Amino acid sequence: MPYVSTRASGDIVYFRGAGRNVVVLNTPKAVSDLLDKRSAIYSERPVLLFAGTILGFDKATALLQHNKLHKRARKYLSQTMGPGVVKRYWGLQQYETARFLQRLIHKPDTLLHQLRL
pLDDT at 16: 81
pLDDT in tens, 54-102: 888 888 888 888 788 888 988 998 898 888 888 889 999 999 999 999 9
Count structural domains, the chain. 3
Residues 39 and 61 occupy one common structural domain: no
Average pLDDT on 107-112 reads 90
For the chain, the straight-line distance linking the first and the last C-alpha, in angstroms and rounded, comes to: 52
10 and 25 Cβ atoms separated by less than 8 Å:
no
Residues 70 and 100 occupy one common structural domain: no
Q: Which value, to the nearest 10 degrees, does the dihedral of the CA atoms of residues 50, 55, 58, 61 take?
A: -110
69 and 60 Cβ atoms separated by less than 8 Å:
no
pLDDT at 1 over 70: no
pLDDT at 18: 78
Confidence of residue 6 (pLDDT cuts 50, 70, 90): low
Residues 71 and 50 occupy one common structural domain: yes
Of 2-16, 26-40, 70-84, which one has max mean pLDDT?
A: 70-84
| Residues above pLDDT 90, as percent of the chain | 19
Residues 39 and 65 occupy one common structural domain: no
Between 17-21, 37-41, 76-80, the lowest mean confidence (pLDDT) is in 37-41
Domain span at residue 38 reads: 1-43
pLDDT at 102: 94
pTM, two decimals, is 0.45
How long a stretch of residues is the chain? Answer: 117
Q: How many CB atoms lie within 10 A of CB 37?
A: 9
